Chains A and B, each alone.
Chain A
Amino acid sequence: MINWHEKLSPMVKKVPWSGIRKYFDLVSEMKGVVSLGVGEPDFVTPWHIREACIYSLEKGYTMYTSNWGLLELREEIARYLYNTYKVIYEPRNEVLITVGVSEGMDLALRAVTAPGDEVLVPEPCYVSYAPCTSMAGGVPVSIPASAENDFRVTAAQIEEKITPRTKALILSYPNNPTGAVISREELMEIAKVVKKHDLIVISDEIYHNLTYEGKHTCFASLPAMRSRTILLNGFSKAYAMTGWRLGYACGHPDVIGHMTKIHQYTMLCAPVTAQMAALEALQNGTEEMAKMVAEYDRRRKLVLKGFCEIGLECFEPKGAFYAFPSIKNTGMTSEEFAEKLLLEAKVAVVPGNVFGANGEGHIRCSYAASVADLTEAIERMGIFLQKYTGEQNKAAAASG
């Protein structure tokens, strides 16, 4: 018998499983659960996009594309980014089509990280940044974005963590899991630090279209930032295309070139069917997207008000489709709360610590769910909270 444990790479063994797995196993055995735990739109991909993909299959688009992706799609992306953010990318060597932002992030980290290089990761954040940094041989350095500052990382916090080994900074606004957005002014301050310390910025802007108040600022559009930014984006969230696995990376030809080299050997190219669908999404998808965004915004307000009424303290998320309320007044840890809430109230949420240690004391609630489900979930959570905050208050009164 082979002993895999001995054979496996120590570095890979050290990488922890995502904390979400445990809840997934737990919830899959339960019935009648209302889930606010889903990190993807509740819409299916608009029909005109699906139909365009079916048509492409009928026409025989079943081959490899260039490693970079279809030129027509890259041109469309470059045009879109120019029209939206006035940032110019050359479609031939500055845009790479990836298998979701997940691949883009992995490629970017692998392309820039030398062994021991430090990568700054503001937390809470998406679950892949730190593990991908480690797997690329780097050292993830967490920067806790504080709840007091509505989970926005500051230039001063970033500068504090910079050492001679610091290579890159990851930014992700609008943010999963907190729903935080960041202003142009704050980004300008961060840009100063980035320039001063000659850092690379990997900016994951997958939720950029889902910005409900103010205007999203593309980090690469800031003065002098284009050349040192790897911009990651994709189609999953705004066009409800998560399962298609399609994203893109834009940046200086030197880094995008080397990312494409890795991509060439590991992925060859993104699936052509998804690329054809993405082309349709960019060309004709704006109207349907705007409808979905308007709907998320309404639900956002509904959830925020609902949480407020049941006594769940929550800062106002202005982007993505998540709320990140505090559960500290229950005296429970995020994991205890999420597990109890699931087992007793049959509402699935994701414990905040899954997204970084300073997510502790919070839960991530996705409002990519129907109004009926959101209303039901809030009602159940209200009853649940009454029971546990009530007990807390009694205990406090008794000891006081």
Chain B
Amino acid sequence: MTLDKKDREILEILQDNSRLKPEQIAVMLGLEIREIEKRIKALEEDKIIVKYHTLINWENAGEEVVSALIEVKVAPQRGAGFDKVAERIYRFPEVKSVYLMSGRYDLSVLIEGKTMKEVALFVSTKLATIEDVHSTATHFVLKKYKQEGIILEDGEKDRRLVISP
């Protein structure tokens, strides 16, 4: 599928706020509602729109969430490269993201758990024991400042006067 300008605009709008209704997007872009629905459906079917999710700051809810970035060095396999071992890793629900990296290590794995112990145990028993995984280095996240383009603490408030000429 090749995107046109309107597709791109739809994607930009939804990326910023996926709760906007097709009616609203239709008005914003000067297109028919049907047209918007059709385009969104096509974008979904082509897996360009993958999922509508919500960015939640669990810490503000008082929930303890421990996350860690694991640098993983692996041995690539003939024929499958890194894909097979990456799959072995991303199948675990504890694993939130897996990226193949250039540089010192191969896979960057983000893991979330309830406690530090839980995460550490997962790494040592599940991750490090996978065949072809040579080594792991675990870095715990101490504080999240910005995530997915959103500044989490002290978001910029509206400091404008309520009425001005």
Closest to A374 in B: B24
Checking B28, B156, B162 against A27 with a beta-carbon cut-off of 8 angstroms, the contacting residue is B162
Closest to A41 in B: B160
Binds B, one of A54-62, A66-74, A297-305: A297-305
Report whether over half of chain A's contact residues are helix, strand or loop; otherwise say mixed: mixed
- CB neighbours (8 Å) of A40 from chain B are 160, 164
Q: Is A42 an interface residue (CB 8 A)?
A: yes
- CB neighbours (8 Å) of A350 from chain B are 163, 165
Query: Which residues in chain A, 1-57, are within 8 Å of chain B measured between CB atoms?
Result: 18, 20, 23-24, 27-28, 33, 35, 37-40, 42, 44
Distance to closest chain A CB from B146 (angstroms): 12
Distance to closest chain B CB from A345 (angstroms): 15
Pair B162/A348 contact, Cβ less than 8 Å = yes
Count of chain A residues near B, Cβ 8 A: 29
- CB neighbours (8 Å) of B24 from chain A are 302, 371, 375
Count of chain B residues near A, Cβ 8 A: 17
**Complex CA distance for A348 and B160, rounded to whole angstroms:** 13
Distance to closest chain B CB from A272 (angstroms): 23
**Complex CA distance for A131 and B160, rounded to whole angstroms:** 25
**Complex CA distance for A18 and B162, rounded to whole angstroms:** 15
Report whether over half of chain B's contact residues are helix, strand or loop; otherwise say mixed: loop
Pair B28/A298 contact, Cβ less than 8 Å = yes
Distance to closest chain A CB from B81 (angstroms): 37
Distance to closest chain B CB from A339 (angstroms): 12
Q: Is A384 an interface residue (CB 8 A)?
A: no
Distance to closest chain A CB from B85 (angstroms): 39
- CB neighbours (8 Å) of B163 from chain A are 20, 23-24, 27, 35, 37-38, 348, 350
Pair B30/A127 contact, Cβ less than 8 Å = no
Query: Known: A42-B160, A371-B20. Contact between A298 and B165, CB under 8 A?
Result: no
CB 8 Å contact bits of B129-165 with A (1 = contact, 0 = none): 0000000000000000000000000001010111111
Q: Is B42 an interface residue (CB 8 A)?
A: no
**Complex CA distance for A294 and B5, rounded to whole angstroms:** 12
- CB neighbours (8 Å) of B164 from chain A are 20, 24, 37-40
Q: Is A244 an interface residue (CB 8 A)?
A: no
**Complex CA distance for A298 and B24, rounded to whole angstroms:** 9
Q: Is A126 an interface residue (CB 8 A)?
A: yes
**Complex CA distance for A42 and B162, rounded to whole angstroms:** 11
Distance to closest chain A CB from B148 (angstroms): 17
Distance to closest chain A CB from B55 (angstroms): 15
Closest to B20 in A: A371
Query: Which residues in chain B, 1-31, are within 8 Å of chain A measured between CB atoms?
Result: 9, 13, 17, 20, 24, 27-30
Distance to closest chain A CB from B150 (angstroms): 14
Pair A18/B29 contact, Cβ less than 8 Å = no
Closest to A350 in B: B163
Pair A20/B20 contact, Cβ less than 8 Å = no
Checking B27, B156, B162 against A305 with a beta-carbon cut-off of 8 angstroms, the contacting residue is B27
Distance to closest chain B CB from A241 (angstroms): 13
Distance to closest chain A CB from B60 (angstroms): 19
Knowing that A39-B165, A44-B156 touch, tell me 7 more A-B residue pairs with CB under 8 angstroms. Answer: A24-B162, A38-B160, A38-B163, A40-B160, A42-B158, A301-B29, A302-B28
A interface list, Cβ under 8 A from B: 18, 20, 23-24, 27-28, 33, 35, 37-40, 42, 44, 126-128, 176, 294, 298-299, 301-302, 305, 348, 350, 354, 371, 375
* CB-CB nearest 9 A-B residue pairs: A298-B28, A37-B163, A305-B27, A39-B164, A24-B163, A35-B162, A127-B165, A27-B162, A23-B163
